[in-house]
Each structure stands twice: as C-alpha cells, then as structure tokens.
Chains A and B, each alone.
Chain A
Amino acid sequence: MTIATLSTEQPAPGQAAWRRFRRHRLALAGAVIILVLVLGSAFAPYLLPFDDTYIDIMKRFAPPFSGAHILGTDELGRDVLARLMMGGRVSLSIGIVAMVMAMAVGIVVGAFAGFYGGVVGAVLMRLVDAVLCFPTIFLLLALAALTEPGPVTTTVLIAATAWMSVARIVEAQVRSLREREFAVAALAFGSSNLRIMFRELVPNAIAPIVVAATLNVAQAILLESYVSYLGYGIQPPAASWGNMLNNAQIYLTSAPWLAIAPGLAITLAVTSFNFLGDGLRDALDPRMNIP
C-alpha cells in the first residue's frame, strides 16, 4: 500500500509508520476473517458431517465441545456449527447483495443530483433528507410488516433504507468534479450527459464509493440480524445469524451457547467489514481521514 505514504499528516516518521502498520494490520485481519467466513459458508455442506436442518431430538441441547457437535446442538438437536455456517450464507449474501442494490440507487440518485444541481438536485437531496428522518429500524420493520417476509424482501428492504448516505457522498463528489477540466473537456467533445456522469465523474469518485460500500455491507449484516431476530426477516427453518438468536432468549438459562455463537459471528463479520472500510479509507484517500 504505497499510496498511504502520501499522507499529509506526519507526526514523526516512526510513529506514522507504526500508525499505518497498526491500521492496516486491523484492516488486513478484517479481510482475512471475511475470507474465512465467506469460504466457510460457501463450502459449508462439504465441510461438515451434519446437515443444518437435520433434527435429532435425542441429542437436543448438547453443550459445545462435548462430542461430535463442536458448538453443541439447539432445541431441536440440530448442529449449531452447521446452522451457523449455513446461516452465514444467508446473512453474508444479504449483506453483499443489499449493498450492491443500495450502491446502485445511491450512485444514480447522487450522480443526477450532483450533475444537474438546481431544482433536480434540490428535490432529490430533500428526498434523501426526508428518508433519513425515519429511524432505520422503525422504517425497516414497518415496511417488513406490510410485505411477505423472506430473503428477497429482506434484502430489498435493507437496500431501501441504506442508499441515502451513498447518495450524499456521490452528490458532493460529482458536484465538485463536474467543474474540473476533464469533465469540461468531455463536454466540449460532445459527450452525452449520461456518459459524462457515469464514465467520467463517478469513476473518479471511486475511492469514497468503495469505502462507503464496505461500511454499507457491515450495516446491512447488522440490519438483517435485527429484523430476523425480531421475527420479520429470514423465516425458519432456514437459518440466518439473526433468526438463530430469535429463540435463544427463551433458552438463555439452560443453553447460553445458542445465544453466544451467532452473536459472535455477527460481531466478527461486522467488525471485520468496518475495519476493512476504515483501512481502505486511510489507504485510498488520506484526505477523508476521519479518526
């Protein structure tokens, strides 16, 4: 990461190096953990001797590290590790797909608002402000209550409540970039507005967009866990990290591992994406350095 050495802040050479090292180490650790989680979830059916939906009522509530089931079994005798890995498929996919959808909406809205400015820009950005007035969880649950729950609806709804911050970032970038020489030159060449927006301006704002995308995945995984925990997201028997915690509260006294394992998985995944985003911010764009 040689770009990071361009950082304008230089407390002391040794300290600066230590700081970069430390920051990137966490981001690197985040990237490795994400890779492990993704691979573990993707190849879950081949890695485990247990089926995540196989019910074995004789072996219910087996504690962790006490036999064949490494992380124990749940109230129906299903293997917790298998459910965790299959749930990871759902939770991580929703996080990534919701991010892509939120990014698409946010980039288009932000690009149009920033490029045209004036009335178009004002209307679009006031719409962004208005949606941001609704606390995300309230909006998400109200929408989820009105629709049929399932992976697709959950993904779309999370995207619908997460595109605004991206729109704000892209709007600001496009608004300032459109005055620059390369944009003016493209206009002079006779490029269409759409071409200038999405071929010239948006690619030049890629650094903050990538950072926002990474943080957006973290946010989407968290939101999925909230709606599923509250019962309006992924429905059983399918597992997601959120809905595995749905029943855990009832068995908190007798089987605390049912609550601990999925929560750790969520925290681990979200922390990793957040650290990765932070590291990317430092590496890609030192000016945006928000400590």
Chain B
Amino acid sequence: MARYVANRLAQAMMLLVIVSAIGFAILHLAPGGPLSQFAVSGQMTQEDLARVTRQLGLDRPLPIQYLDWFGRMLKGDWGRSYRDGETVLSVISSHLGATLELMTTATIIAVLLGCWIGISGALRRYSLFDSLATVGAMIALSIPTFWFGLITIYVFSVTLGWLPAGNRETVGDGSFFDLLHHLIAPALVLALVETAMWGRFMRSSMLEVINQDYIRTARAKGMPEWRILTVHALRNALLPMITVAGLQFPTLLGGALVAETVFTWPGMGRLFLDSIGYRDYPVVMGILMFSAIMVLIGSLLADIFYAVVDPRIRVG
C-alpha cells in the first residue's frame, strides 16, 4: 500500500511539473509576454519597458525564469492582482467558498439522483424507465449549461417568480433560508449534466456486476434478492464510482464557471471571467493553475481512496 501511494505521488508530482510548464508557456504566449498590459497602456517608453524587463528578470533565459516562477508558486507566492494589488492566493481563497458550496450541493444532488437512476435502469434493463433515462441522459449532456440556466431563470424567476434570478444572498438578509433559496437554481442547473454522467456510469457499472459469477452463485444458494443486490452487487458496483468522482472533477469545475456566470454567483469561475475582462493576467493564470492543481489532487485522492477500499488495485 505504501509503495502504491508513493508511486502515485511521484506520478502526480511529475504531472504537476508538466502542468506548470504548460501554464508558464501560456503566460508567455500573451502578445508581448507578461508585460503586455504595460505596453498597451502607452504610458511607458521603450526604455522604461527595458528597465522593468530587467528588474523583473524577464531578460533571463526562459528555463531559468520557469524554475524561478515554479519555485515561487511552490512557496505560495503567486503574484498580485493588477486590479487591487491583493495577492492572487487571497483573491482566490475569498471566492473559493461560494464555488465549493455550489459544487458540493450539485454533487450531492447528482450522486444521489444519478446513482438511483443508474441502478434502477440497470435492474430493469430496456424497460420504459431505462429507455427514457438513457435518452434523457444523452439530451441532458447535450444541453449547453448556460442556456439551461437562462431557461431556468425565465421559468422560475421571470414567469413564476419562485426563485431569485441570481446572486448568493439578498443584501441585508443572508439567513440560512435566504442562502438556500438562492442556491436552489444554480445547484440544480449545475447538477443536470453531473446527474446524467453519474447515471450513465452507475448503470454500466451495475450491469457489469450483476452479470458476474458470484452474483449467480449467490442466487443459486438461495440468498434473498434484496440481499444479493445490496450486499453483493451494489457494494462492488459503487467502487468504480470513486474513479468517476475523480474524472468528473474538471467537468464540474467548468460547469461551475458557467453556472456562476449565468446566476451572478460570486465564486471562482465568475472571478476568472471578470479577471479576463480586466486583463488581470496574474489572477487569470492563478485560477487556471489552481483549478488544474485541484483536478490533480482530486484524481490523486480518488486513486488512493480506491486502493484503500479495493485491495485488488494495489497489486496492479
């Protein structure tokens, strides 16, 4: 087990190096490089630019600059926002809570609903319910999240007036009920695609398990059906879902960005878009790297957790 974890950690570290190299490359891809926003403003002469370039060490060879940048990232020095001079990490952390709240709620909805749909579909394969669920999942995966958000706002906020059209809380209220009221629509919109994904994976995992020999053995020895399903089938079918949780993470983050934009939710995704609008490159790069690192850690944790609950993984 320790060997597996060490191995997996080494892999993740290597990936982090490549991910950071890609991030660094994107930063330097900007026309004019990291100093482009000064050049555009026109308030700096050519000499000023040359001086700043030297001061910031941007005239050094790229590999040296990269190592320097990577070292500072590891130390937690991610630069400062051009907009208000705050450190990038503190800007991100002040918006992270709202995003996590949205993502957690959507995930809980998606896991419960998706697993239920997937399991029911697998147990009654090719039934009307299963067919509808399969087709419904495909359509859900094809609907643009932002459009679904717009339609939700139109129906439940504009026409029916049941839900607020955006924001995390009513200014001056902020009670638990108020927060919940604002959370419903964006969380459901974000959960749509996730539910479809979980449903599809759960269905195929359950189908694979209930065709295994040990299920037939359990039936043959006269075990009651509910016990076969809950104790033998479900426990094994839920295992691969740990990997799905890891795989789903990037999609979930991307979906959160879109849902936050439509519902003016003050989270990391919205911050990302605002920062792009302001050409606030340190924050843009910071969030890009931060989300990639979150994905990396997410898949690492999923793999390790899988190895903990399923000993077969550790050997391979």
Q: Which residues of A contact B (CB under 8 A)?
A: 11, 15, 18-19, 22, 26, 126-127, 129-139, 141-143, 145-146, 218, 222, 225-226, 229-230, 232, 242, 245, 248-249, 252-253, 256, 259-260, 262-263, 266-267, 270-271, 274-275, 278, 290-291
Contact = CB atoms under 8 A, between A and B. Distances in A.
Contacts of A22: 131
Nearest to A144: B276
A259 B144 contact: no
Given A141-B273, A267-B139, 8 more contacts: A133-B295, A136-B250, A138-B253, A218-B142, A252-B150, A252-B153, A267-B147, A291-B134
B144 A267 contact: yes
Given A229-B146, A259-B151, A274 B200 contact: no
Interface stretch (B42-50, B55-63, B233-241, B257-265): B257-265
A145 B27 CA distance: 11
Contacts of A18: 126
A249 B291 CA distance: 27
A260 B144 CA distance: 12
A248 B138 contact: no
B26 interface: yes
A263 B151 contact: yes
A267 B141 CA distance: 9
B184 to A, nearest CB: 18
B52 interface: no
Contacts of B143: 263, 267, 270
A16 to B, nearest CB: 9
What are the nearest 10 A-B pairs in CB distance?
A: A263-B147, A130-B18, A270-B142, A137-B254, A271-B142, A135-B250, A135-B254, A145-B276, A135-B253, A133-B292
22 contacts: A129-B15, A130-B22, A133-B19, A135-B254, A136-B250, A138-B257, A146-B29, A146-B31, A222-B142, A222-B144, A225-B144, A225-B146, A229-B144, A230-B273, A249-B262, A252-B150, A259-B151, A263-B143, A263-B150, A267-B147, A275-B138, A291-B207
A289 B307 CA distance: 27
B272 interface: yes
A262 B146 CA distance: 12
B145 to A, nearest CB: 8
Contacts of B293: 133
Nearest to A22: B131
Interface of B: 14-15, 18-19, 22, 26, 29-31, 125-126, 131, 134-135, 138-139, 141-144, 146-147, 150-151, 153-154, 158, 200, 203-204, 207, 250-251, 253-254, 257-258, 261-262, 272-273, 276, 279, 284-285, 287-288, 291-293, 295-296
Nearest to A19: B126
Nearest to B146: A229
Contacts of B257: 135, 137-138, 141
Nearest to B268: A138
Contacts of A19: 126
A146 B258 CA distance: 20
Contacts of B203: 291
A226 B131 contact: no
Nearest to B249: A135
A49 to B, nearest CB: 28
The winner among A130, A141, A262 for most chain B CB atoms within 10 A is: A130
A142 B22 contact: no
A253 B29 CA distance: 41
A142 B282 CA distance: 11
A133 B296 contact: yes
Contacts of B207: 291
Contacts of A229: 144, 146-147
B251 A135 contact: yes
Contacts of A260: 151
B26 A230 contact: no
B276 A232 contact: yes
Contacts of A275: 138
B151 A139 contact: no
Contacts of B272: 138, 141
Contact of B138 (A143, A225, A271): A271
A275 B141 CA distance: 11
Contacts of B158: 252-253, 256
Contacts of B134: 291
A132 B26 contact: no
Contacts of A129: 15, 18
The winner among A126, A133, A141, A290 for most chain B CB atoms within 10 A is: A133
A266 B144 CA distance: 7
